[in-house]
Amino acid sequence: MGNAEHPEEQEGPVTSDQLRLIGTPFRRVDGRAKVTGQTRFADDLSFPRMVHMKLVRSTVPHAKIVGIDTKKASEIRGVVGFLTGESMPDPFGILPVSQDEHALCIDKVRFVGDPVLAVAALTEDQAHEAALAVEVEYEPLETIATIEEAISTPEPRIHDYGDEGNLHKKLSMEFGDVDEGFDEADQIFEDILYFEGNTHLPLEQHATVALTEETDRVTVYSSTQTPHYLHRSLAKVLGLPAARIRVIACPNGGAFGGKSDPFNHEICAAKMALTLGRPVKICLTREEVFYCHRGRHPVLMKIRTGVKKDGTLTAQHLQTALDGGAYGSYGVASTYYTGALQTVTYELPKYRFESIRAFTNKPPCGPKRGHGTPQPRFAFEVHLDKIAHELAIDPAQLRLQQLVAADSVTSNWLKVGSMGLGQCIEAVVAGSGWNQRHGKLPEGRGLGLACGSYLSGAGLPIYWNHMPQSGVQLQLDRSGGVALFCGETEIGQGSDSVIAAITAEILGIDLHDIRLCVADTDLTPVDLGSYSSRVTLMAGNAAIQAAERARTLVARGAAEKLDVPARELVFAEGRVFHGENPDHGMTFQEAVVEAESRFGTLGTTGSYTPPRSPGRYRGAGVGPSPAYSYSAAVVEAEVDPATGIYRIEHVWMAHDVGKCINPALVMGQIEGSVYMGLGEAMMEEQVFRRLPKKRSGALVHKHPSMLEYKSPTFADMPPVTSYIIEDPDPNGPFGAKEVGQGPLLPMMPAVANAIFDAVGVRVDQVPIAPHMIRQAIEARERGKPGRFGPKSFPEIEFGVPLRVPTPAEGGDGKATNVDDAGVRAGTGTMTERKDAVKGEN
C-alpha cells in the first residue's frame, strides 16, 4: 500500500518476537489511583448546584397505573422537580428487537421495583422523603411468577409483543440429522437440571450524574459498561441528536454484566438535568441494585445425548427454558446462548436445540459473567460425568478422547481457532492427582472435573452495522508522550492496562509515557463496551493497528536522519535505533520531533472488525467469536453425609488464555472467576416469594440485601492452584484470548461432580444446599435414586425446527427450510434483518 499521502500505511518496522512488556506482571496503569482512593467512580462526582434524584418504584408486581399524586411530595422542602413516563414516551432497550422499556412506566408496572416517577430535590434526604410521599394508585393484574405460570397463563400478557402469550422467545434449530445420530448411539442418556438465578452484586451501587452545558446538550457520567449503547438509548428517548449527548463511563466498581443495559435512572437523570438546567445525581440504594438486576437467568434444562459404548457422543438434543423476568434486556441473545456454545468443546456431530424465554413479573434477567452459557455448561458437564460413570470411563479421558479440533468448524457453524482444552485438562488432572485419587478417596471426600469455553468477544454487534467494533486513536507530539483515545470501559478487569501495554510495547516506550482517555463518547472512538469478554481482543487489535501506524510514521521520520531504512529500525527502551547497530539511533522523543517536522501533526487510528463467521442461518449471529478460550477445573470437596454440609477444600483451574498480556492480571481474573463460580455453586440465588394475601399477595424479592443474599467471604475461599495455558490464537492481539469469564464456567459442574464422588449422590441443580445432599442421601437409603433435582421439563410445542446441515454433511451454513420452519429464529441482535442479509451477500 505505498501511498505518499498515507505515510503511516507504508512499510515500517515489524514487531519483534522479543516482547519487553507484554507477558510481564507490570503494575496496572490505574493501580496507584485505585489504592489511594483517587479513582473517581460516578458517585464520587459532584458539581456546583447539583440536585439529587430518587425514583419511586412500583410496590406491586403487575398492575395498571391508575393515578399518581405528587401533591404531598411537592410540599416537601427542597423539592425542585418531578418526571413521569409521559415526558419520555419513546421506548428503549438494549436489543433492537426488544425495545420494551420506558424510562418511567407509562400505563403499567411489571415487577416490584419498576420505576414510576422521578423526583429531584436539593438534598438526597429531601428527595428520599419526597419519593416516599408520592402516592401511586394501582389496579392489580394477575401475577406471573414462574416459567410454568407463563406457559399456562397466556393472558394477561406482560408485554404486547413476543412469540406467543407470555413467551418472549421460542426457538428450535437442528444441525444435522439428530434422529440419525441417536440411531447410531448404543445408549441414550437423559437428564433434567436446573440453574437458579443469581445476581452480579457489584460492590459499587449504580450511580449517574448528568449536567447540561447548553439548552440542548447534556453530559452523562455513569457507572456503565456500555457507554456507546447508553448513548444510543439516550438519543432515542431524549429525542436529541447523538452529537449533543456526551456519555462518560466512569471506572466501574465491579460490573460483571450488571451495568451493560441502558438503565431508567440514567435516562431520567439526563432528562431531569435538561428540565432543571442544573446537575442531577442519582445513586441507587443496594435494594434498588437488586431490582435493576439483569443477572443470571434461572434456566430449566433437559439434555439428551446419544453415546457409543466407547463414550463417543453421536448427537445431542438440548431444551432450555429461561425465566426472563419482566423485560427483554439481552434476553433474546441469552436464549440463544443457552445453546450456542455446547458444540465448541467436544465433537458433537449432530445437535438439536430448543428453547423458550418466559416473561414473568420479576426484575429482568440479562447477562452475567458467562452470559447464558454457564447454565447449559453445568447441565452438559454433569451429564458427561454421569455418562462416564455409567460407561466406566474416566471422566477426564471421556473428554480428552473427543475434543473439538483446533481450526475446525462445529456442527452449528462456529469457527474454532486455537483450542487448548486438552492441555487444560491434563494440567488439572496432573495437579490434583486425579488419576490416583478420583473415585478412590474415603467416603465424604471427592474430586469433580468439568470444563468450559467462552467467547473472546461476540462476533456481531448488538445492532447491525458495517462499522468497526472497536477503535483506537493515538496522538503523538514533540513531548515524546503518546495520548491514547479509546471508547473501552474499565470495569476493574484491567482493560486500560491492556491497551496501554500493547501500545507501549509496539512503540518501545515506557507505560507511563502513555496518557489514556477512555470511554467518552465525545472524545474517544467507539468501542462497543466491556461485555462478552471482547475488549482485550478487539480494542487490543485496534491498538495494534494504531500503534503500528504511529511507529511507521516515527520510523520514517527517524530513518532519514539516521540514514537507515525505516523497516530496519527497532523501537525499544524509549529509543529508535538500527537493529544491526543498536548504538546508532536516537531517543523516541527525538524521533517524534523528526516525524512531526516532516509530516506535521502526528496522529493515527486503528480499527477492529471481527472476521465473518461461516454460519448463514437465522440465529447464526449468536455464538461466533474471533477466538474461544478454554478452561478445565478439578474441585475437591469434603461432605458430611450426616448433615449434607460440605466444604470446598481445593480448586485446580487451568485456563487457555492464548497469550498473557499480563500474568498477574490473568491470575486475578482466574481467581475472581473461581470465586464467583463457587458463589453460584454453593449459595448465591436471586429468588422471590409471594407475600401472604392479607399483605397484598405481591411477588417480592426474598432478600434484596447483601446480608441475606449470600456470597462467599474471605473465610469461604479455598486454596486455588491456577495454571495459565497459552495456546495463541491468530485472531488475538499477540495471540491473546479472553480470561474474564471463561474460568467461571467449570466451577458449578465441578462442585456437583465432586459431591457425587464424595457421597455418591447427584444434586442436579445449583446452588447446592446441604439439605439437597441430605435429601438425595435419604432417597438412596429408601432405595430410590440418590438424586435431588427437577423432575420434569414442561411440555412445549416447539414446532418444526430450522434445519441446518452440518459441515460434515456438506452444508453451506444455510438452513434448508427457511419457509416452513415453525420458529421465528431471528437473532434479535440486528435492527434490520434485510440489511443484515444484504451485508452477508
Partner 1 sequence: MSEERTTRAFQVNGEDHHVSFSVHHSLLEVLREELGLTGTKHGCELGECGTCTVLIDGKPILSCLELAAECEGRQIETVEGMMQGNELHPLQDCFADLGAAQCGYCTPGILLAAQALLAENPSPTRDQIVSALSGNLCRCTGYHKILEAIEWAAARMRGDEKYRPPESAIYGDPVEVEKASDG
Residues that bind ligand FES (CB under 6 A): 203, 254, 492
Q: Which does 519 bind (CB under 5 to 8 A by kind): ligand FES, partner 1, none?
A: none
Between residues 203 and 837, which has the closer beta carbon with respect to ligand FES? 203
User: Which residues of 470-611 form beta strands (DSSP E)?
Assistant: 470-476, 482-486, 514-518, 569-572, 575-578, 581-587, 602-608
Between residues 203 and 405, which has the closer beta carbon with respect to ligand FES? 203
Site for partner 1 in 642-671 (CB under 8 A): 654, 663-668, 670-671
Between residues 430 and 483, which has the closer beta carbon with respect to partner 1? 430
Site for partner 1 in 366-395 (CB under 8 A): 394
265 binds partner 1 (CB under 8 A): no
Cα angle 691-774-769, degrees, rounded to a multiple of 5 = 50
Site for partner 1 in 116-175 (CB under 8 A): 125-126, 128-129
CA distance 63 to 138: 6
- CB of residue 283 to partner 1, shortest distance in Å: 9
Instruction: Decide if 615 contacts 409 (C-beta within 8 A).
Output: no
* C-alpha cell read off for 418: 486455537
- CB of residue 295 to ligand FES, shortest distance in Å: 17
Q: Where are the alpha helices (DSSP H) in 29-82?
A: 31-36, 71-74
Q: Which does 672 bind (CB under 5 to 8 A by kind): partner 1, ligand FES, none?
A: partner 1
Site for partner 1 in 399-428 (CB under 8 A): 400, 423, 425-427
CA distance 763 to 751: 10
- CB of residue 492 to ligand FES, shortest distance in Å: 5
- CB of residue 254 to ligand FES, shortest distance in Å: 5
Q: How many CA atoms lie within 13 A of 19 on its CB side?
A: 19
Q: Which does 649 bind (CB under 5 to 8 A by kind): ligand FES, partner 1, none?
A: none
CA distance 621 to 610: 12
Site for partner 1 in 59-98 (CB under 8 A): 77
- CB of residue 253 to ligand FES, shortest distance in Å: 6
- Which residues, including other chains, have CB under 8 Å from residue 616's CB and lie 6 or more apart? 413, 812, 813, 814, 840
Site for partner 1 in 468-527 (CB under 8 A): 491-494
Between residues 368 and 659, which has the closer beta carbon with respect to ligand FES? 368
- CB of residue 203 to ligand FES, shortest distance in Å: 4
**Phi/psi-derived region of residue 74, left when phi > 0, alpha when psi is between -120 and 50, beta in every other case:** alpha
Between residues 13 and 492, which has the closer beta carbon with respect to ligand FES? 492
- CB of residue 771 to ligand FES, shortest distance in Å: 29
Beta bridge partners of 208: 222, 282
Between residues 492 and 749, which has the closer beta carbon with respect to ligand FES? 492
Q: Which does 127 bind (CB under 5 to 8 A by kind): partner 1, ligand FES, none?
A: none
In the stretch 225-264, what mask flags binding to partner 1 with x, by CB under 8 A? Answer: --------------------------xxxxxx--------
- Which residues, including other chains, have CB under 8 Å from residue 546's CB and lie 6 or more apart? 472, 473, 474, 484, 503, 604, 605, 606
* C-alpha cell read off for 645: 454440609
Site for partner 1 in 675-704 (CB under 8 A): 675-676
Site for partner 1 in 269-288 (CB under 8 A): 285-286
Between residues 205 and 686, which has the closer beta carbon with respect to ligand FES? 205
CA distance 673 to 655: 11
Between residues 43 and 261, which has the closer beta carbon with respect to ligand FES? 43
- CB of residue 636 to ligand FES, shortest distance in Å: 26
Between residues 203 and 691, which has the closer beta carbon with respect to ligand FES? 203
Between residues 257 and 492, which has the closer beta carbon with respect to ligand FES? 492
Tell me the three state secondary structure of residue 336: helix
Q: Which does 266 bind (CB under 5 to 8 A by kind): ligand FES, partner 1, none?
A: none
Compute how many other C-beta atoms are within 10 angstroms of the C-beta atom of residue 353.
28
- CB of residue 765 to partner 1, shortest distance in Å: 23
Compute how many other C-beta atoms are within 10 angstroms of the C-beta atom of residue 140.
13
In the stretch 187-216, what mask flags binding to partner 1 with x, by CB under 8 A? Answer: -------------xxxxxx-----------
CA distance 805 to 411: 8
Site for partner 1 in 31-60 (CB under 8 A): 31-41, 43-44, 46
CA distance 210 to 207: 10
Preceding amide of 718 cis, omega within 30: no
Between residues 318 and 491, which has the closer beta carbon with respect to partner 1? 491
- CB of residue 157 to ligand FES, shortest distance in Å: 39
Q: What is the enclosing helix (H) or strand (E) of 374?
A: helix 374-391
Between residues 254 and 431, which has the closer beta carbon with respect to ligand FES? 254
Instruction: Decide if 510 contacts 482 (C-beta within 8 A).
Output: no
CA distance 670 to 163: 39
- Name the residue among 477, 473, 432 with its Cα closest to residue 634: 432
- CB of residue 696 to partner 1, shortest distance in Å: 24
- Name the residue among 249, 220, 223, 224 with its Cα closest to residue 235: 220
* C-alpha cell read off for 474: 493515538
Measure CA of the first residue to CA of the last residue in the chain; give whole Å: 27
Q: Identify the residue among 28, 54, 350, 803 touching partner 1 (CB under 8 A).
A: 28
Count the site residues for partner 1 by CB under 8 A: 83
Instruction: Decide if 737 contacts 628 (C-beta within 8 A).
Output: yes
Between residues 385 and 490, which has the closer beta carbon with respect to ligand FES? 490
Between residues 491 and 682, which has the closer beta carbon with respect to ligand FES? 491
- CB of residue 491 to ligand FES, shortest distance in Å: 9
**Composition of the chain by helix, strand, coil, percent to 5:** 30, 25, 45
435 binds partner 1 (CB under 8 A): yes
- Name the residue among 525, 524, 522, 505 with its Cα closest to residue 513: 505
Q: Which does 4 bind (CB under 5 to 8 A by kind): partner 1, ligand FES, none?
A: none
In the stretch 715-734, what mask flags binding to partner 1 with x, by CB under 8 A? Answer: x-x--xxxxxx---------
813 binds partner 1 (CB under 8 A): no
* C-alpha cell read off for 301: 434444562
Instruction: Decide if 733 contacts 502 (C-beta within 8 A).
Output: yes
Instruction: Decide if 557 contacts 598 (C-beta within 8 A).
Output: yes
User: Which residues of 672-825 form beta strands (DSSP E)?
Assistant: 688-690, 699-701, 720-725, 762-763, 765-766, 787-788, 802-804
Between residues 364 and 492, which has the closer beta carbon with respect to ligand FES? 492
- CB of residue 119 to ligand FES, shortest distance in Å: 24
- CB of residue 256 to ligand FES, shortest distance in Å: 10
**Phi/psi-derived region of residue 503, left when phi > 0, alpha when psi is between -120 and 50, beta in every other case:** alpha
